[in-house]
Amino acid sequence: MYSSMPDWLSRQVQTQPHKQALIADDVSWTYHQLLHHSLSVKTMLVKAGVVPQDRVAVYCRKASSFVLAVHALMQSSAILVPLNRKLPLSELAFQIQDAQPSAILVDAEQKEQAEQLMEAAGLQLPVLLIENGLNEEEHVARQSFLLTDKQAIIYTSGTTGLPKGAVLTYRSQWFSAVSSALHFGLQKNDIWLMPMPLFHVGGLASILRAVIYGSTLWAQDRFVAADVLVAMENENVTLLSLVPTMLQAVLQEAAGRPIVHHLRALLVGGSGAPPALLQKALEAGLPVCQSFGMSEANSTVTVTRDEQSLLLPGCAGQPLSCVQVAIFDEQGEQLPPNASGEIRLAGPTMSEGYWNRPEATDQAFQDGFFCTGDLGWIDEEGRLFVLDRRSDLILVGGENVYPAEIERVLRGCEKIVDVGVIGISDEKYGQVPAAFIVVNGPWTEAEFYEYAKPRLATYQCPKVVRFVDELPRNASGKLLRRKLREQWQMSEVR
């Protein structure tokens, strides 16, 4: 088995230097220009003392800055640690302290926030402005890399709510790209439109796939339904990634008329899209397919392959070619078709484990499989049906929200004696957080939000607050979220 591979960006420059590589913000770069800018930023990184396999955090607002940072770090053989700029500084501070990067790459729009983050984390790292790197001389281009080298650490969260860094190697990135290409096919003039945050695993995958394929990535800083619709109808966009709320907004923008497009596939990820929404997309003439994935699996795991599967409730499709999906019971025995249990994944796209978390790695990666904690079943045709995206996880418009993270923040308030958070259904976002709180003395909902809003991301902030006398807990003190869900459902019935 080969252990190294020619550098992807250098190879594209050798074979098609003038091919359009990136459309983003106000820039349009060829592969030659992308490599030139990446090597200039690499010079800045080297001068700052960054060496191969150092971790470097990336905290950029502009899509072009983020893409450039990714390629500059790969040219430097450094490990990317992307930061979710939507998260509160307290959560990002934990990630920075855990990853221990040697520097943080930012653009001008995020420089002030980066300095605040360094203060919150109690660290004094070099804050490198990516715009300054563009003024440097080109460094030497990387010609090859080891497949076993670490490429990125993507922070996710577990049931404890403490972030864990899923380590992705070049090997996992390569096989993820190959799996996607085998399913969706490749065309010479492919343009992949990505109007979603690039700091998520799906956004990073789009960057890597583009340079591996030699196609064009069109990255948008923020989602605007009208802009996406114009791009679909007037440009030669062939692949598009959206979450359900985005798809709904695009269909509303189209106002019921058929959408003229050049799409080969429209991937809907994040929380499961309602069948009614998918039906509307089909009626508008869109080649929509639903996908299921996660950070530890390097983005996509399964994709629906036909209209019948797409409209089956809970159907997440069939596995991509490099991914094995199986269902296991609580004793660790693999189950036959149509039996419900834990979804486990295997294959070369998987993460190699969690950064600095050997116990969590051993618990999650067992006998060659990644134990997702999600429940589901597989039918005779190999289609995966997801019953619950982890019992505690809340999916708010494509964003992963973990109750324990919200609870940890809210417990910092002296008025809150106890708190429990669950996800409740929402027509617009799929799910939103709801907080059940026990308070010490009189307290109003307005006072609750006065405390919560500055400390939580918008999508993390509970949309419903219930004041209760006590929370349901077992003998060991563990919160029984199932009971909270039952209480919510009963109150809704009344």
Q: Which of 339, 362, 387 is the last residue of a domain?
A: 387
Give the number of domains in the chain: 2
pLDDT at 80: 99
Same-domain pairing of 381 and 432: no
Q: Which of 387, 415, 442 is the last residue of a domain?
A: 387
Same-domain pairing of 324 and 413: no
Per-residue tokens: 229: 């619709």
> Interhelix angle for 63-75 vs 31-47, to 10°?
70
Same-domain pairing of 381 and 481: no
Give backbone dihedrals phi and psi of 205, rounded to 5 degrees, phi first. -60, -40
d(CA 349, CA 173): 7
Tracing tokens 């060829």 back to the chain, one arrives at 30
Cα separations in angstroms, 202 against 243, 271, 288, 329, 484: 11, 13, 17, 29, 32
Same-domain pairing of 306 and 232: yes
CA–chain centroid gap for 88, Å, is 17
Same-domain pairing of 269 and 351: yes
Which one, of 487, 494, 449, lies nearest residue 468 by Cα? 487
Which one, of 266, 268, 478, 297, lies nearest residue 391 by Cα? 478
Same-domain pairing of 265 and 143: yes
- 3-class SS at 349? coil
One-letter amino acid at 468 equals V
CATH number of the domain to which 242 belongs: 3.40.50.12780
Query: Which residues constitute the domain of residue 443?
Result: 394-493
Give backbone dihedrals phi and psi of 34, rounded to 5 degrees, phi first. -65, -45
What global pTM score does this model have?
0.83
Per-residue tokens: 193: 């439109």
Half-sphere exposure of 159 (CA within 13 A, CB side): 14
pLDDT at 160: 47
Residue 186's Cβ-count burial label (10 Å; 0-12, 13-18, 19+) is: middle
CATH number of the domain to which 416 belongs: 3.30.300.30
Same-domain pairing of 365 and 459: no
d(CA 162, CA 260): 45
Helix (H) or strand (E) holding 69: helix 63-75
Same-domain pairing of 308 and 160: yes
Task: Region of 173 please: left (phi>0), alpha (psi -120 to 50) or beta.
Answer: alpha
> Interhelix angle for 445-452 vs 403-410, to 10°?
100
Same-domain pairing of 360 and 309: yes
Tracing tokens 């809970």 back to the chain, one arrives at 314
| CB count in 10 Å sphere of residue 446 | 7
Instruction: Please answer whether residues 291 and 357 qualify as being in contact, where contact means their C-beta atoms are separated by less than 8 angstroms.
Output: no
Per-residue tokens: 11: 């190879």
Half-sphere exposure of 166 (CA within 13 A, CB side): 23
d(CA 268, CA 327): 23
Q: pLDDT tens per residue, the chain (494 residues)? A: 579 999 999 999 999 999 999 999 889 999 999 999 999 999 999 999 999 999 999 999 999 999 999 999 999 999 999 999 988 898 899 999 999 999 999 999 999 999 999 999 999 999 999 999 999 999 999 999 999 999 999 998 544 457 899 999 999 999 999 999 999 998 889 999 999 999 999 999 999 999 999 999 999 988 999 999 999 999 999 999 998 878 989 999 999 888 999 999 999 987 667 777 899 999 999 999 999 999 999 999 999 999 989 988 789 999 999 999 999 998 999 999 999 889 999 999 999 999 999 999 999 999 999 999 888 899 999 999 987 556 678 889 988 787 878 987 898 898 998 899 999 999 889 999 999 999 999 999 999 999 999 999 999 999 999 999 999 875 445 678 878 988 898 887 55
Per-residue tokens: 284: 């508008």
Residues whose CB falls within 8 Å of the CB of residue 174, separated by 6 or more in sequence, listed in order: 5, 147, 212
d(CA 171, CA 350): 9
Same-domain pairing of 417 and 372: no
Residues whose CB falls within 8 Å of the CB of residue 34, separated by 6 or more in sequence, listed in order: 9, 21, 22, 67, 68, 71
pLDDT at 158: 46
Question: What is the residue-wise DSSP string for 94-113?
Answer: HHHHHH--SEEEE-GGGHHH
pLDDT at 88: 86
Q: Which of 387, 406, 424 is the last residue of a domain?
A: 387
Same-domain pairing of 306 and 426: no
Same-domain pairing of 217 and 143: yes
Per-residue tokens: 31: 């592969």
